[in-house]
Amino acid sequence: MKGKNYRSWNRFSRLATLATVVSVITLLPLHSATAQTFQVIHNFTNGGDGGVPPYTLAKDATGHFYGTANSGGANGDGIVFKLIQFNSQWVLTPVYNFTDQDGQPGWGVTLGPDGTIYTNASYASVLGGPCGSALRLQPSPTRPASVFTTWNETLLRTYVKREDGCPTGNLLVDSAGNVYGVTQSGGPNGWGTVFELMHTSSGWTETILYSFQGGNDGGAPYSGLIFDNAGNLYGTATARGAFGQGVVFKLTNTGSGWTESVLYAFQGGNDGGQPTAGLIFDNAGNLYGAAESFGSGGGGTVFKLSPSGGGWNYSVLTSLSGTGGPVASLTLDASGKLYGTTFFDGPAGYGSVFKLTPSGGTWTYTDLHDFTGGADGGYPGGGVTLDAAGNLYGTAVVGGADGFGVVWEITQ
């Protein structure tokens, strides 16, 4: 696999568990920033609360946040956590402690329609052995002994690298409880797959919906998938494609199988390249996403794909600076503003949080926070999650009071 993102990101998340990441990024010019209120609402200690949280938070209907931390916990293998606000204080409790059999968290969490949690776990594969698994977590059906009582685990699928590839990206759950995801490698052609896990009376059955060939169809998908209203699947692949810089793809269910079509192939110029982040829809059916690399500023691009005449029009909303742009999906608020994070951008090279505001056909970039790698954290591997009041929340994998990352809040 030739893409920069394919070989670098999972490696970084494992190295970050040592909390010894050394920045080698040249200092960049300071963005023009407006006044925002940034605060750390949890400092990870690498103890029972875990450490090194690299993924986007999920929010339930009551305003509670859920996420994963790659290290710490009762077994030292990471946790799924829940974050609740009591008055003005935030309290983090473990929902699940990963074990040696599970490995470490492989991505963030997806909240199912019935309140269950779906997530991936990953661990080193030896000679074609298991390299990951898909898990479902449910609270105990009886009253828990305490708030620290962990949830019950169901193993949906163990992935064997040589056959299936390694799962990555958030899992997607439909209204019937079927689970969809991607593997970044493996499959018949070695360039990854899109799969479905269906619950039957005898357990969970996996079906490979599409195997990437590593040609014009792309390869090495990294982030999770999304549905449209017709049940078609959309995603990004970080590598290959017509110009070798990744693609945006669509999978259409024909009734007898799934057919892939490429909506856009990145060229690695001003349009960007190597799209690590996933996609989001707006109410008009437009797609938004981000490319981690290239663009006129060298730090990737934020883009829009608009359906038009049976095809899709691609436009760049902004080009980012730095050496590593967004690796997590963007977030869209009710007024049409986009929010995201960059992984290596900012004056200190520890990443940033930004906002894009539409006006008259153009988009205005606003820098909301530049991470320093110190008390505020650094390297925001996850994206932005909004609460009902429009406040922003996210994670950073290093820094904080104890050096093991933070959960942060920005109020506007």
Tell me what the pLDDT averaged over the chain comes to: 87
The C-alpha atoms of residue 319 and residue 271 are separated, in whole angstroms, by: 8
- pTM across the whole model: 0.90
Share above pLDDT 90 across residues of the chain, in percent, rounded to a whole number: 72
The encoded tokens of residue 148 equal 């620290």
- What percent of the chain stands above pLDDT 70? 86
Distance CA 33, CA 23 (A): 23
* Number of Cβ within a 10 Å radius of residue 380: 32
Rounded to an integer, the average pLDDT of 272-294 is 97
Alpha carbons 174 and 197: distance in angstroms, whole number: 11
4-411 folds as Neuraminidase (2.120.10)
pLDDT per residue as tens digits for the range 242-260: 999 999 999 999 888 999 9
pLDDT of residue 141: 66
- Sheet arrangement for strand 58-59: 58-59, 65-69, 79-86, 89-97
d(CA 126, CA 139): 33
Q: Is the pLDDT of residue 143 over 90?
A: no
Give the Cα separation of 351 and 322 in Å (integer): 9
Query: Could you give the 3-state DSSP secondary structure of residue 28?
Result: coil
Instruction: Quote the DSSP letter at residue 378.
Output: B
Run of H or E including 411: strand 406-411
Closest CA to 116 of 181, 69, 60, 63: 60
In this prediction, residue 166 carries a pLDDT of 84
With the CA atoms of 269, 211, 168 and 113 taken in that order, what torsion angle do they form, in degrees rounded to the nearest 10?
110
For 277, the token pair is 């982040």
Cβ–Cβ under 8 Å, residues 184 and 165: yes
d(CA 1, CA 313): 28
4 three-state secondary structure:
helix
d(CA 184, CA 217): 14
**Does residue 164 sit in helix, strand or coil?**
helix
Say which residue, 8 or 362, is predicted with more confidence: 362
Provide the residue ranges of all domains of the chain, joining segments of one domain with +.
4-411
Output the pLDDT for position 412.
Answer: 85
pLDDT in tens, 118-130: 999 886 544 455 6
Q: Are 60 and 115 in contact (CB under 8 A)?
A: yes
Which whole-number Å values give the CA distances from 298 to 16, 85, 295, in the listed order?
Answer: 24, 39, 5
**List of residues 6+ apart from 332 with CB closer than 8 A:** 280, 282, 288, 338, 339
The residue among 190, 189, 126, 193 whose CA lies nearest residue 157 is: 193
Lowest mean pLDDT among 94-98, 164-168, 314-318, 395-399: 164-168
Pairing mode, strands 406-411 and 37-43: antiparallel
Please report the pLDDT score of residue 85 as a whole number: 94
